Amino acid sequence: MVRVESLAKTYQGRRGSPPVKAVDGVSFQVPPGQLLGLLGPNGAGKTTTVKMMCGLIRPDAGQILINGTDMVRRRNQALAHVSAVLEGNRNIYWRLSCRENLEFFAGLKGRSPRDVRSEIDYYLELFKLTEKVNTEARQLSRGMQQKLAIAVALISQSEVLLLDEPTLGLDVQASFEIRELLKRMVEEQGRTIILTTHDMNVVQDTCKRVIIINQGRIVADDSVHNLLDLFKVKVYRIVIDGKLTPGQREALENLPEVLLEEENPHETVISVRLEESQVLYQVFGILGAENTVIHSIDQEQNNFERVFLEILERGDQSA
Amino acid sequence: MPKKLTLFRAFFRRQLAYFRRYFANSLGGMLTLYVVFLLILGGYRGLSGPSGLQGDTTEALVVGYGLWFFMLMTYQDVSYTIRTEALTGTLEQLYMSIHSFGWVMGASVSAAFMANFVMWAVLLGVAMFTTGTALNIDLLSVLPVLIGTLLGPLGIGFIIGGLTLVFKRIESYTQMVQFVLIGLVAVPAERVVWMRLLPGSFGAGLVRDIMVRGASLAEIGAGNLALLFAIGVGHLLLGYAVYKQCERAAMSRGLLGHY
């Protein structure tokens, strides 16, 4: 169980610049066996929050309890329950082999090579690194290095795993493999995983719950499913042959729910955000008046990227 | 196995892996040091005129050079390690150990000491062969004095490592320390009492007493040995205290893993 209460951190400005409030009263709890996504735009305070949870940045106020142990007051004891991959493939020693890396980092967490021998074999197999057991990390692909970094974090047997951008810079295949592995770690081993990411596919695919941070504050904390439901909108994309007439364009631009996405001599794409059916009839009326040929009509699927942007936009408006 | 022992073992195994894998590179580094030694020796002989180096002057030069090498390596084992770990992205992982960073660095330095000791022994052996000198290799006497001597450079290493955490790119200043170390080895701490308080200087004199003049640990005396360790521990604690202050500042500003 991870409990974060009223966490705050302000970085003092340098050379006369004003202080920056990176984290401002953040509170949340993560029960065991949950995969939580911590989202937010650049500079929102995600990494500062994660690093405070690892005991690497001292908070100005608030409390972090990892399995009941205070990270600030009893740092070393709390760290027995936490592992992290903060710098991706840079969190391992590139001049050590896969096995040597796993043994070394297990030792840092108090586990001897003899104790972890079978686990090393298990993780190497799980992460498809068995053939690379004696290969130096610098000779691995970026995806393999990333997997090794995660295996290194797992070998410590910490219940809580913190991952900062675990799929950053990876190709589609490697990203997919890591997402699958994370899901397995939660389902099979009951680990608690908190990850930060900008990749909404990762969130939608792996996370049960998300917390969205903006300007140091939590602006949303709910399940991915609920947030998708909450921000459910119907969007239709209408493709017509050729260009609109000036009259059609003017009429469509007067409808706030309509967006002209693309217009060229061959086709025009009109996006209609449907909050009431009447709008769609109006659009069809405008197009039908000039006998415009409709090429296709598609309904867009709601995705988490749209939800994320919507939440941030609403937050900005209320601020 | 006790967890502290596991920590030390992890660093020893890592050091051994590096030593084995980069043996040729280590050999190249030693060759460079040997060439530098030859240049110093040649220059010294040239400067001292037709009479050349006589008596125990050559032996003192060999011991002094070896000691400077050991002090430099020990200093770098802390300062350079902290800089490199920050640069490569592993410093934060070391900080996430279940042991305090003092213990982590203790394990790292102990492991590096073994490698440095082997290189020091080889360098001394080759230098003795080249110059035709015979040094008193009384390990039981030399080893404790050597360890006491190296505590000072360790303290300097922590200070520079701490400053690196906060100010980052300060290599041009940290490189000056290697010249400072030459001075610390060379000062006449045997004759000028206050100089004994300088990091490594008192110990350097005692090492010369053992290896050049053939003194034993008994002749060095318990009082001198105690004084050596008192001064060394003082330097180490001072260096570590500065490091902890810098660490606190770096953690407060969120700079720990940056470089």
Please say if the pLDDT value at position B52 is more than 60: no
Whole-structure pTM value: 0.83
Lowest mean pLDDT among A13-22, A75-84, A205-214, A223-232: A223-232
Q: What is the pLDDT of residue A263?
A: 79
Please say if the pLDDT value at position A272 is more than 90: no
Q: Which two tokens stand for residue A168?
A: 């950053």
Please say if the pLDDT value at position A133 is more than 70: yes
- Kindly state the greatest CA–CA separation across chain A: 80
For chain B, give every domain's residue range.
3-253
* d(C-alpha B108, C-alpha B77), whole Å: 8
Q: Which two tokens stand for residue A38?
A: 């911590």
Classify domain A233-301 at the CATH class level.
Answer: alpha beta
Q: State mean pLDDT over B224-231.
A: 95
Lowest mean pLDDT among A8-17, A187-196, A271-280, B125-134: A271-280
Taking an 8 Å cut-off on Cβ atoms, the answer to whether A107 and B6 are in contact is yes
- Kindly state the greatest CA–CA separation across chain B: 62
Does any CB of chain A come closer than 8 Å to the CB of residue B100? yes
Long-range CB contacts (within 8 A, 24+) of B83-88 = B83/B161, B83/B164, B83/B171, B83/B174, B83/B259, B86/B164, B86/B165, B86/B256, B86/B257, B86/B258, B86/B259, B87/B259, B88/A90, B88/A93, B88/A94
Selection from A207, A121, A221 nearest residue A167 by Cα = A207
Q: What is the pLDDT of residue B43?
A: 79
Q: What is the pLDDT of residue B191?
A: 83
Chain A residues within 8 angstroms (CB to CB) of chain B: 9, 11-12, 22, 48, 51, 54-58, 76-77, 79-80, 82-84, 86-87, 90-97, 100, 103-114, 136, 152
Taking an 8 Å cut-off on Cβ atoms, the answer to whether B10 and A108 are in contact is yes
Lowest mean pLDDT among A57-71, A136-150, A255-269: A255-269
Lowest mean pLDDT among A201-210, B53-62, B95-104, B185-194: B53-62
Q: Which two tokens stand for residue B77?
A: 């084992």
Q: What is the pLDDT of residue A33?
A: 93
Average pLDDT of chain B is: 88
* d(C-alpha B193, C-alpha B207), whole Å: 17
Please say if the pLDDT value at position A318 is more than 70: no
DSSP state, residue B192? -
Q: State mean pLDDT over B50-57.
A: 56
Please say if the pLDDT value at position A102 is more than 90: yes
Please say if the pLDDT value at position A14 is more than 70: yes
Q: What is the pLDDT of residue A265?
A: 83
Q: What is the pLDDT of residue A106?
A: 95
CA distance A79 to chain B (A): 6
Residue of chain A whose alpha carbon sits nearest to that of B108: A108
Please say if the pLDDT value at position B48 is more than 70: no
Model pLDDT for residues A180-207, shown as the tens digit of each residue? 989 999 999 999 999 998 888 888 889 9
Per the model's pLDDT, the better-predicted residue between B162 and B48 turns out to be B162
Beta bridge partners of A222: A210
Selection from A197, A152, A208, A151 nearest residue A175 by Cα = A197
Q: What is the pLDDT of residue B1?
A: 64
Select from B16, B92, B93, B165 the residue whose CB has the most chain A CBs within 10 Å, as the one to mutate to test that interface: B93
Please say if the pLDDT value at position B53 is more than 60: no
Residue of chain B whose alpha carbon sits nearest to that of A153: B93
Average pLDDT of chain A is: 88
CATH of A2-226, one of 3.40.50.300, 2.40.50.250, 3.10.580.10, 1.10.287.610: 3.40.50.300
The strand ranges marked E within A249-313 are: 258-263, 267-274, 294-300
Confidence class for position A27, pLDDT limits 50, 70, 90: very high
Confidence class for position B20, pLDDT limits 50, 70, 90: confident
Q: Which residues of B touch A96 (CB under 8 A)?
A: 14, 17
Tell me whether residue A262 is exposed, middle or buried, using C-beta atoms within 10 angstroms of its C-beta: 0 to 12, 13 to 18, 19 or more. Answer: exposed
Does any CB of chain A come closer than 8 Å to the CB of residue B20? no
HSE (side-chain half, CA atoms, 13 Å) at A204:
13
* d(C-alpha A108, C-alpha B99), whole Å: 8
Please say if the pLDDT value at position A107 is more than 70: yes
Please say if the pLDDT value at position B232 is more than 80: yes
For chain A, give every domain's residue range.
2-226, 233-301
DSSP state, residue A120? H
Confidence class for position B23, pLDDT limits 50, 70, 90: confident
* d(C-alpha A212, C-alpha B123), whole Å: 59
Q: What is the pLDDT of residue A205?
A: 87
Q: DSSP characters for A8-51?
A: EEEEPPSTTPPPEEEEEEEEEEE-TT-EEEEE-STTSSHHHHHH
Which one of B9, B95, B253 has the shortest CB-CB distance to A107?
B9
Q: What is the pLDDT of residue A231?
A: 67
Lowest mean pLDDT among A233-237, A293-297, B73-77, B222-226: A233-237
Q: What is the pLDDT of residue B55?
A: 55
This model of the complex carries an ipTM of 0.87
Q: What is the pLDDT of residue A313?
A: 75
What backbone phi and psi angles, to 5 degrees, belong to A263?
-145, 120
Please say if the pLDDT value at position A305 is more than 60: yes
Q: State mean pLDDT over B148-164.
A: 94
